[in-house]
Structure 1
């Protein structure tokens, strides 16, 4: 939660800072965001596998959170889009190192009957931070006379608090042991078919959901001032926050593909509203539906991966899962930037709506494997 407060204070202002203050194009923004997220997810493959191999989840998570914290000061020091690119790249390496071990830790601490609820709760707490971060950014921008760099400096504080909490309060699960030598030859190809079914559907969903930076740009395009652009993420994350935990609870009590289908439908509607928006209220309603889609799908996909993966390959499974999604997110973000520059915001979101509709068809075709 604290790391999300830090990251989202920066992320809520970064698109306008990059495009407005530093003068970069939407294509460059798409490259920055896409490569940054892809980097995080590539690194997750190795950190997840290492956490299985060593039986050490906390140490890798601590390294990842620590690296992200020490890179936060690079953002206020940035004088060009290239520096922002470097800062995002290093920051996302930290996210990649911590992501899969952290998700595997949640599974290590919970029973299968509680897993959907546990991931829903973790997602909700993440989203509390993602809601508070932009809210703090709005308040600080008003208090500091729109001094973006000053807000970026303050954002470093909660990042170091997050590291301290992990270091002092979280312990390695007592039952976790290093992977035995006979298991060292296990590779992603050893993951079961049910895992690949879930990963394929989730990966395709990602094509229709490019970087949230473009939601912020859409708000600015409609008329939000730089101080108020974080409101876009506030609205998205408050809906995400209140929907993720109930969706996780429901995922333990009903067929999970039903929630995924509903989430895909929300994403289609969100993109159509954002494509046709002519005022701030419509943009915020579209963003709220985007957040509802996230709440209905993210924790559910994570719980399904945890269930599908063997215990001794769970870190590897999360790593592979996040790698696939990261690569598609990079592609989606670059495509979004190109469409934005060449054809405008409406074309960007209409394309995403079409892709979201195709994801619903894929989900329907794969539902028998998803239930396996």
Structure 2
């Protein structure tokens, strides 16, 4: 039973005599509020963990299924991989805008997760390139619809000084699912007579579970951080249109207001940098195929390669998120691309040994840990609260659209020149784009550690 402490404060400098002393139970440990990750972030992390188990089960076997099972050329695989990773580009803008209208973040995220889940059993009945292309396009449409609203919920629930850490925790949980997915795929492939169909079936069941968790446990309205950490941009931010929305009724969100976000210099340069760097980022699947050929791995062990990336991502996501909050999100973002350059260089270097693939995969995971959530944390500082989902979608669209183009170009280069010549061209392009991004410098919102734009 709780009994209030009725002791009063003695008079002293900076105190008011006669005020009651707060009960011990209400005294939070120093710094606890700053270290805490909002419950919304943790629940969304759980949803992403479950969903990524499902997605990575398919991703782990898909390159092998398409290249060896269906006999696709590298150019054909590049087209399908581009669809898989880039079809969501424009849809992200739609999902972001619809989520901002009436703050329907949860509803839009649930629609996206549900659409992707329904695509898993469709892979059981389509065996042509055209059919698989259509299924992958719908699956990535679901991803495009859900990503910006989900990231907006994370951004709005977390205080500005903890954006990097909150995105890091979410991405770590998401990556735990990515780590488990290939393991489950390997187990299913070994246990089932028709391994590919069994993987697609189990993947659907897991994806459906993620949708249920989202619907039951993610709050309908995102809890906002306190006044000191609202994360809202002031009325002077680009695209705000009015003096902010506060905590009252949401203001109307027009397409004109969304487009006007690019009037903000920092957000415009951040989007341009994400686009440039995406143009020279080789798809994960191509990287794994190069490693598989270099190591001469058998098909049943191919799903192990994504595990190295996922393990590194999992271990480094939170530390690099904290580093981004402390030292600057843009600096950490660029450092991640520097690590990717080193990974490409190692693949091209005339060196071998068992340690080389491990180092490449660790650097690959570190790249994602330093860029994925960190980019969203940097962008959140330049976007007003009422347009948060739309603003994050703008940055994501530039990046994903560029990676779609890179998949097509890399597939064509591989078909024409060979895998290592294509990788050499991509490495040179990444070096040039990284130098251009350093010169552009997006602005204070991305460079300043510890706070979002106010």
Shift of 1:179: 4.0
RMSD, aligned CA: 2.0
- Stretches of structure 1 that go unaligned for 5 or more consecutive residues are none
The answer to whether the 8 A contact 1:146-1:227 is kept is: no
Q: For the residues of structure 2 that align with 1:310 and 1:96, how far apart are their CA atoms?
A: 21
| Alignment correspondent of 1:313 | 387
Give runs of aligned pairs for residues 112-131 of structure 1, distance below 5 A.
Answer: 112-131=160-179
| Alignment correspondent of 1:173 | 222
| Alignment correspondent of 1:207 | 279
| Alignment correspondent of 2:408 | 334
More moved, 126-135 vs 273-282: 273-282
Pairing 1:237–2:310 present? yes
More moved, 327-336 vs 278-287: 278-287
Q: Deviations over 1:254-288 (max 9, x none)?
A: 12232123212111111122234766653343222
Q: Deviations over 1:155-174 (max 9, x none)?
A: 11210110000000001225
| Alignment correspondent of 2:4 | none
Which structure: greater helix fraction?
1
| Alignment correspondent of 1:188 | 259
Bigger radius of gyration among the two: 2
Pairing 1:148–2:222 present? no
Pairing 1:228–2:301 present? yes
Q: For residue 331 of structure 2, give the secondary structure of its aligned residue in structure 1.
A: helix
The answer to whether the 8 A contact 2:113-2:146 is kept is: yes
Normalised by the size of structure 2, how large is the TM-score? 0.78
Q: For residue 208 of structure 1, give the secondary structure of its aligned residue in structure 2.
A: coil
- From 90, 95, 98, the equivalent of 1:47 is 95
**Number of residues of Structure 1 aligned to a counterpart in Structure 2:** 372
| Alignment correspondent of 2:153 | 105
Q: For the residues of structure 1 that align with 2:253 and 2:204, how far apart are their CA atoms?
A: 43
| Alignment correspondent of 2:396 | 322
Distance 1:354 1:187, change over 3 A: same
Shift of 1:315: 1.0
Normalised by the size of structure 1, how large is the TM-score? 0.94
Shift of 1:182: 7.8
The answer to whether the 8 A contact 2:105-2:150 is kept is: yes
- Stretches of structure 2 that go unaligned for 5 or more consecutive residues are 1-48, 225-246, 449-454
Higher relative contact order (CA 8 A, sep 6+): 1
- From 419, 422, 427, the equivalent of 1:348 is 422
Pairing 1:274–2:323 present? no
